[in-house]
Amino acid sequence: MMAESAAGPVFQLGRPRFDQSSFLGRLRHFVEIIDPSTLFVSQEKLQECIKLLDDYKHGTLPPGTTDQQLWEAQKIKQAIIHPDTGEKIFMPFRMSGYVPFGTPIVIGLLLPNQTVMSTIIW
């Protein structure tokens, strides 16, 4: 069990932020993974997050860095960067892109009374 401060759990690189032994912890974990706000992260913000996590690995964190900042940096990096290749994942193929990019397709496929043309398009 992770020790928790008033702001949240103590940061652990590569570990889930929420307790995976409870339903609520697993739910919060997956809600964080599919958070669509990570689709709008700028390249500069992504680089800042990567640098912050690298600084954490090397023990050279800037003074005043909080666990909350580290959790947010890890969330952003994990949402955008492929863990094996280290490359950015194309937005529609990210977990956070599943709902905004997939929902219109599902709705289109489920429309009733489709014509031949709408079937071809969908």
Whether 57 is in a domain gets the answer: yes
Domain coverage including residue 94: 19-121
E strands, the chain, where? Answer: 4-5, 8-9
Whether 89 is in a domain gets the answer: yes
In total, how many domains does the chain have?
Answer: 1
Whether 88 is in a domain gets the answer: yes
Reported as a pLDDT band with limits 50, 70 and 90, residue 7 is: low
Structural tokens at position 10: 């103590």
Q: Dump pLDDT digits (tens) for 28-85.
A: 999 999 999 999 999 999 999 999 999 999 999 999 999 999 999 999 999 999 999 9
Whether 3 is in a domain gets the answer: no
Return the pLDDT at 107: 87
Whether 5 is in a domain gets the answer: no
Return left, alpha or beta for 113; rule: phi > 0 is left, psi -120 to 50 is alpha, else beta. Answer: left
Whether 82 is in a domain gets the answer: yes
Whether 1 is in a domain gets the answer: no
Whether 9 is in a domain gets the answer: no
